[in-house]
Amino acid sequence: MTAMMKAAVFVEKGRIALVDKPIPDVGPNDALVRITTTTICGTDVHILKGEYPVAPGLTVGHEPVGVIEKLGSAVQGYQEGQRVIAGAICPNFNSYAAQDGYPSQDGSYLAARGLCGCHGYKATAGWRFGNLIDGTQAEYVLVPDAQANLAPIPDGLTDEQVLMCPDIMSTGFKGAENANIKIGDTVVVLAQGPIGLCATAGARLLGATTIIAVDGNDHRLGIARKMGADVTLNFRNVDVVDEVMKLTGGKGADSSIEALGTQATFAQAMKVLKPGGTLSSLGVYSEDLSIPLAQFAAGLGDHTIRTALCPGGKERMRRLMNVIAAQRLDLGVLVTHQRKLDEIVEAYDLFAHQRDGVLKIAIKP
């Protein structure tokens, strides 16, 4: 009989359920990883709400921490029983998109199924787990192109310490990297959820000296100060744009990072910028956006708007875990709750409704 596992799958809009699915077979370039810890992401909530489409029956989740159960015949340099993570983004690094510097947009593996042109470029296709292939909220996950995407966990680091690396830390840092931050810059980070908090930390590591964190939750703003924010603004109490202009002497911020994905935060991120500033967008948007005309200077303000899907691959993961191992940053504090995989439906309800001070939930099979 086929061996089975438990997996959380998307059923229909508003419904994710725990079901039994076959444990995947391992191809020559794959690795089967037994999940020891995973988590729920804001993007998973977009899937649950029907705001981001995935196929019914797909296992959701894209943040794996685990142990190699079985290796494909072509995968070298790893051992069964080894603790590993894999990025939420797991491209084929032989592709045109990856070699062009955009591995997150690699859809080359879809070409044989007629779902992508022969060139292999497809927006967001580097994000496979819980998007185009079965994801990580399960007892096992199959990691494709494993030699390029598996990263060994350094000795001494716990699951909770590295749980943010596959997506949240990588995405937040990418937001800071895309913001063109220079030493001495002023940066505004709008929304201090887990990704915004990591963007705040990334801005500090890149040399910004005035980091303004914006949120409507004082508890999160307190954590933002621990992550490196110099100033915190609760948008429920102050006019954020006016405050930023006061703090910058009317110049505006050098960069802004939008980490929520709404029209309101996108517009604020544009309004706080100086002429020539950079807006780094990390939000997952579910409707069309409009750009505030005056602050966009009718298109003549030398502004830069950059979007991002976080980088993947083992080298990205290695670097992020180095930051954790060197004690430059403690992201274990973002893991506020733990649940068993059997409790995944209740965990989604908790996370989607942001109750009980939740930031991230460690899900353990």
Burial of residue 345, with CB atoms counted within 10 A of its CB: 0-12 exposed, 13-18 middle, 19 or more buried: middle
Is 133 among the domain residues?
yes
Taking only the tens place, the pLDDT of each residue in 47-81 is 999 999 999 999 999 999 999 999 999 999 999 99
In terms of domains, do 140 and 212 share one?
Answer: no
pLDDT mean over 234-251:
98
CA count, 13 A, side-chain hemisphere, 49: 14
Q: For residue 250, what is the domain's CATH number?
A: 3.40.50.720
Is 229 among the domain residues?
yes
pLDDT of residue 329: 95
pLDDT of residue 1: 60
**pTM exceeding the 0.85 threshold for the entire prediction:** yes
Taking only the tens place, the pLDDT of each residue in 145-154 is 999 999 999 9
Angle at which helix 314-325 crosses helix 170-178, to 10 degrees, equals 100
In terms of domains, do 346 and 357 share one?
Answer: yes
pLDDT of residue 162: 97
Domain limits at 240? 169-307
Q: For residue 160, what is the domain's CATH number?
A: 3.90.180.10
Closest CA to 198 of 216, 218, 175: 175
d(CA 159, CA 180): 31
pLDDT beyond 90 at 206: yes
In terms of domains, do 134 and 220 share one?
Answer: no
In terms of domains, do 187 and 139 share one?
Answer: no
Taking only the tens place, the pLDDT of each residue in 83-97 is 999 999 999 999 999
d(CA 271, CA 361): 34
In terms of domains, do 347 and 234 share one?
Answer: no
In terms of domains, do 71 and 205 share one?
Answer: no
**Domains held by the chain: number:** 2
Q: Identify the band that residue 284 occupies on the pLDDT scale cut at 50, 70 and 90.
A: confident
In terms of domains, do 61 and 132 share one?
Answer: yes
Q: Which of residues 284, 307, 330 is at a domain's end? A: 307
Q: Which of residues 268, 290, 307 is at a domain's end? A: 307
Is 99 among the domain residues?
no
Is 107 among the domain residues?
no
pLDDT of residue 112: 86
In terms of domains, do 226 and 300 share one?
Answer: yes
Mean pLDDT of the chain: 96
In terms of domains, do 150 and 230 share one?
Answer: no
Is 100 among the domain residues?
no
Q: Identify the band that residue 116 occupies on the pLDDT scale cut at 50, 70 and 90.
A: confident
**Phi/psi of residue 226, each to 5°?**
-65, -30
Is 302 among the domain residues?
yes
- Produce one character per residue of 259-276: b if its CB has 16 or more CB atoms within 10 Å, e if not: bbbbeebbbbbbbbbbee
pLDDT beyond 90 at 239: yes
Rounded alpha-carbon distances, angstroms, from residue 34 to 118, 181, 332, 364: 33, 38, 21, 11
In terms of domains, do 29 and 158 share one?
Answer: yes
In terms of domains, do 76 and 15 share one?
Answer: yes
**Phi/psi of residue 50, each to 5°?**
80, 15
In terms of domains, do 155 and 21 share one?
Answer: yes
Is 337 among the domain residues?
yes
Is 66 among the domain residues?
yes
Bridge partners (DSSP) listed for residue 305: 279
